[in-house]
Amino acid sequence: MTTAEDRNRYFDALSADDTLIWMGQNTNHIPAHPEVTEAMIAAIRSGAFNAYAPPLGFESLRAAIVADLGVAGRALVTEGGVNALATLCRARCRPGTTLVTSDPTWKWPGLFARQQGAEVVELPIFGPETGYKLTPDMLRRAVDGRCALIYLVDPNNPLGTTYTAEEIGDFLQIARESGALLVHDCTYRDFAEGHVPAPRLDPENAVCSVSFSKWLGLAGMRVGALVGAPALIEEVSGYASSILGAGVVAQRGAEAGLRVKAEWMETVLRINRANQEAVKAAAEAAGLSVLVWPSQANFLCLGTTGLAPEALVEAFRRRGIMIRQGTYHTARFGHSFVKVSTTVPEAWAVRFCAELPGAIAAARSLTDIPALF
């Protein structure tokens, strides 16, 4: 049995290694846009951080988030997308309700829902039969009057698949018929082609969670948002634990990021795509498979048939590179893949590719694999 202290020591050891190549958590390590860095430094220099931010977020940032998503609604700025989702689960999940999601999914909202006494229904999407995606038929069979939240991670982490506007429309129809709320987790939307946030199609029965961790690289700053209809944001804000607002410095960085977004994302998408091409070629040459191509996110899901993902993760860790084992995401399907993030400097991707054959060879004979998180 591993403890919270074990988990903390694991991440603390990774953080303590300042040469670590972070390719396991879909974070973005491309050197920040100077205007984003400047905005955060200005907030520090001016002492703006001595005061709390407004409880729902700075109005300028709230407006910029809503405009960026292209929806009619309001934003509740949170300490990362994870707290947007936690707050929503606290507001809506109760004993007797369900949260319906895919498997794999991003696992933490399921935990939050269970903590509220709700039941979590995970629909298997791990396979080429449905293109590693949820289908409206699968969803319809699982959603009934008990369903409080349909939690859709789009693009899916860890698979890298995305949904069309038509599919989102079908999911919304199901949500409306059952009285559920469609929660569209848009954390990776900026990496996808033609992504449509659900509230654009149905402002009442859908809500989005967004993050500044992946596209902008602010993971350690902790800033994200929940975006939905004004009445929903009013309701959900009553369950927020961030009564005293999200971080001031983080919010100023996020605002600057939205101002330079078009220019910044051109750079990020170019580097991400080139890194994905390189990792794909190296993986296939080494006998691994790329489960979903092209990926619509900033990572690749690599099939490891015949090789334990945990062993490969540990072999890479010993080489100073963090990648993620599939069981982080899914107990059912996690024994056959690893996930490798690609919003990293090109030199990191080159290192990963160069180390891959040696790491695979080492993984085959590894027997002492510590607990991974």
Ligand X SMILES: Cc1ncc(COP(=O)(O)O)c(C=O)c1O
Residues that bind ligand X (CB under 6 A): 26, 80-82, 106, 153, 157, 185, 187, 211, 213, 219, 224
Cβ-proximal residue to ligand X, closest one: 80
User: Cβ closer to ligand X: 301 or 356?
Assistant: 301
Contact by Cβ (8 Å): 279, 342: yes
Shortest distance in whole angstroms from residue 339 CB to ligand X: 10
Which residue bears the tokens 């971080």? Answer: 247
As a dihedral over the C-alpha atoms of residue 188, residue 194, residue 199, residue 202, rounded to 10 degrees, the angle is -150
Rank residues 69 and 360 by Cβ distance to ligand X and give the closer one: 69
Residue 139, SS3 per DSSP = helix
The distance of closest approach from Cβ of residue 329 to ligand X in the complex, given in angstroms and rounded to an integer, is 9
Question: Least CB distance from residue 124 to ligand X, whole Å?
Answer: 18
SS3 199: helix
Min dist CB 185 to ligand X, Å, is 5
CB of 12 to ligand X, least distance (A): 18
- Considering beta carbons, is residue 25 or 178 the nearer one to ligand X? 25
DSSP H or E segment with residue 273: helix 261-285
Q: Look at residue 106 and give its three-state secondary structure.
A: coil
In whole angstroms, the minimum distance from the beta carbon of 258 to ligand X comes to: 15
- Any idea how long the chain is? 373
Q: Based on CB atoms, which residue is closest to ligand X, 209 or 276?
A: 209
Nearest distance in Å: CB 189, ligand X: 10
Interacting residues of 153 by C-beta distance below 8 A, sequence separation 6+: 101, 102, 105, 106, 185, 187
Closest CA to 225 of 217, 215, 233: 233
Query: 53 or 356: whose CB is closer to ligand X?
Result: 53
Nearer to ligand X, 191 or 356 (CB): 191
- Report residue 269 as tokens: 């998408």
Amino acid found at 104 = P
What is the smallest separation between the CB atom of 27 and ligand X, expressed in angstroms? 8
Q: How far apart are CA 148 and CA 181, in angstroms?
A: 6
d(CA 16, CA 14): 5
| Residue number, 81 or 363, with CB nearest to ligand X | 81
Rounded to whole angstroms, the Cα distance separating 322 from 14 reads 8
Measured from the CB atom, the residue of 57 and 81 that comes closer to ligand X is 81
Q: How far is CA 113 from CA 110, 154, 211, in A?
A: 5, 19, 20
User: Which residues does 105 contact at the CB level (< 8 Å), separation at least 6?
Assistant: 122, 151, 153, 156, 329, 330
Q: Looking at beta carbons only, is 317 or 329 nearer to ligand X? A: 329
In the complex, the smallest distance separating the C-beta of residue 186 from ligand X, rounded to whole angstroms, is: 9
Q: Where are the alpha helices (DSSP H) in 179-222?
A: 198-201
Q: How far apart are CA 248 and CA 43, in angstroms?
A: 7
